Structure 1
Amino acid sequence: MYRRILVPIDGSPASAQGVAEAIRLARPMGSRVRLLHAIDDLSVSRAGYAHDGAPQLRAEAARMLARSAERVRRAGIEVDTVLYNETDGTVASLVADEARGWHADLIIAGTRGRRGLGQLLLGSSTERIVRGSSVPVLLVHAGGGEQADAG
């Protein structure tokens, strides 16, 4: 029984799939869901902001979390959100700390399924989450055609 499900999101189709899986699992079990987003250097570069654009990026991140939380809430599931800056720690360490502190029973993480050189050069936050987690981690692979705005 998973009473508390933690879902790290980044606005990608992979994290949208993670949110969908959290809804699918949480509804019949009456679980609570916590959505977590960490603003990191990749978020800054994707958004095209210089480091002085942090307030705008934080506002966009808060809107993304709110949209995803509303999706979970519409499914009849209790949900809350957490927004961090990577300066608070790496994405993986923030997820691990949140899972421990919130007493999560499960982490659901979307993955893009990168292989080879792409993973070697970019690293994988998801892989580090799996390696550093003290609770089970369910990986959800993004299929084609999903919308990124939900997760």
Structure 2
Amino acid sequence: MSYQHILVAVDGSPTSDHAVAQATGLAQASGGRIRLLNVIDPVAHVSGFELPSVYSQEVLPRLQKAGEALLHRAQERVAERGVPVDTVLIENLDARVAQLVVEHAQTWGADLIVLGTHGRRGLERVLMGSDAEHIARTSPVPVLLVRLPAGANAAAAGA
């Protein structure tokens, strides 16, 4: 199958970086393009005690700037390999991140979603949830879940 529109959700983690690298290789092989997507989740970063003005003038701009920087770094890595790439930053107001990724894939016309996954199992997965699992279950297009190679987790944690 030739993937022409590859959506990669990025969060700055080592697994996410590996997903970008894998997607870039697929895009090179198929002549496709990549869209990098980052979802900022302001609600996860507020205590509830901030004044609305502090939230809108300090918290949200800081999160947006960090998301844009993350996307820019990933975009540079993809572009260096000659793959057409663009970026999208979405602010999550009240939805699950997985839902936003699937909706964006549909809207953009993605024919593949590539995600880094930590491969959590058991109670850890139940407690933390799994956006990757939810995306894989609900996506109308194929989803490639990418894990770090064995031994890479320890190296990444030490970095």
What TM-score comes out, normalization by structure 2 length? 0.83
Aligned in 2, Cα 1:64/1:21: closer, same or farther, shift over 3 Å?
same
Between stretches 79-88 and 119-128, larger displacement belongs to 79-88
| Whole-angstrom CA distance in 2 between matches of 1:43 and 1:69 | 25
| Whole-angstrom CA distance in 2 between matches of 1:20 and 1:146 | 15
Runs in 1 of length 4+ with deviation above 2 angstroms? 41-45
Would you say 1:120 and 2:121 are equivalent positions? Answer: no
| Whole-angstrom CA distance in 2 between matches of 1:82 and 1:73 | 15
Partner of 1:4: 5
| Whole-angstrom CA distance in 1 between matches of 2:15 and 2:90 | 20
Task: Count matched residues.
Answer: 143
Partner of 1:95: 101
Deviation digits for residues 49-89 of structure 1 (CA, Å, limit 9, x no counterpart) = x7821211110110000000111001100000111111163
Q: Aligned-residue CA RMSD in angstroms?
A: 1.9
Higher RCO (CA 8 Å, separation ≥ 6 residues): 1
Would you say 1:72 and 2:78 are equivalent positions? Answer: yes
Larger radius of gyration, structure 1 or 2?
Answer: 2
Aligned in 2, Cα 1:106/1:13: closer, same or farther, shift over 3 Å?
same
Picking from 68, 71, 94, the partner of 1:62 is 68
| Whole-angstrom CA distance in 1 between matches of 2:87 and 2:146 | 20
| Whole-angstrom CA distance in 2 between matches of 1:56 and 1:23 | 28
Alpha-carbon contact 2:7-2:114 (below 8 Å) kept? yes
SS in 2 for 1:134: coil
Residue 98 of structure 1: CA displacement? 1.0
Aligned in 2, Cα 1:41/1:118: closer, same or farther, shift over 3 Å?
farther
Letter in 2 for 1:61: G
Residue 43 of structure 1: CA displacement? 6.1
Would you say 1:133 and 2:139 are equivalent positions? Answer: yes
Residue 124 of structure 1: CA displacement? 0.6
Letter in 2 for 1:98: H
| Whole-angstrom CA distance in 2 between matches of 1:66 and 1:35 | 9
Residue 30 of structure 1: CA displacement? 1.1
Deviation digits for residues 25-48 of structure 1 (CA, Å, limit 9, x no counterpart) = 111211010000101258637xxx
What TM-score comes out, normalization by structure 1 length? 0.87
